[in-house]
């Protein structure tokens, strides 16, 4: 579900990193029908925010994806790319309810999270620091 939500949000982005996220999601999910995106806002140099709705319908439209489920601290290299998916820290899993099929999404930098009042836990902050020292770009995602 996270890949679908991020892909849907970033499908509206003109930024190369956003386009790369959307392209990855499209390949991973085997050409999904994106969920509806509204209230899309770009914060230049920091990230995007939007509302995603119709997630259940989009999930129903995709073939079963048998990708790995990462636990906190695990990582996976995305084949044929320079992308490393690192599961650093995760709040409780989202629950899809029929009456709640709409999600507020913020994707971007630490500053973007701060702008929206989204706390970054110590584990994530430490991982971001390590990646920044390596010269890597990190993208954070917050839902609801």
* pLDDT on residue 1: 83
Task: Point out the residues of the chain with pLDDT beneath 50.
Answer: none
CA distance 141 to 100: 19
Phi, psi of 117 (to 5 degrees): 70, 30
Looking up tokens 């709409």, which residue turns up?
102
**pLDDT for 140:** 94
pLDDT of residue 54: 93
pTM of the complete model: 0.82
Instruction: Determine the pLDDT at residue 112.
Output: 97
- pLDDT value at position 123? 87
Q: How many residues does the chain have?
A: 144
Closest CA to 89 of 54, 111, 113, 66: 113
- Give pLDDT, residue 95: 53
What CATH number labels 2-143?
3.40.1110.10
- pLDDT, one tens digit per residue, over 25-49 is 888 888 889 999 999 999 999 999 9
pLDDT of residue 101: 84
- Alpha-carbon distance of 83 to 38, in angstroms, equals 28
Domain boundaries, the chain: 2-143
């Amino acid at each position: 579900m996270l890949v679908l939500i991020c892909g849907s949000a970033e499908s509206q982005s003109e930024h190369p990193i956003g386009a790369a996220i959307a392209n990855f999601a499209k390949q991973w999910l085997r050409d999904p029908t994106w969920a509806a995106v509204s209230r899309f806002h770009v914060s230049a140099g920091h990230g995007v925010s939007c509302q995603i709705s119709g997630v259940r319908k989009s999930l129903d439209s995709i073939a079963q994806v048998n990708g790995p489920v990462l636990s906190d601290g695990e990582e996976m290299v995305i084949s044929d790319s320079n992308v490393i998916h690192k599961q650093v820290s995760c709040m409780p899993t989202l629950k899809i309810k029929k009456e709640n099929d709409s999600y507020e999404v913020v994707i971007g930098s630490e500053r973007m999270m701060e702008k929206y009042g989204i706390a970054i836990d110590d584990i994530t902050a430490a991982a971001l620091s390590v990646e920044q020292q390596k010269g890597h770009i990190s993208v954070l995602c917050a839902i609801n």
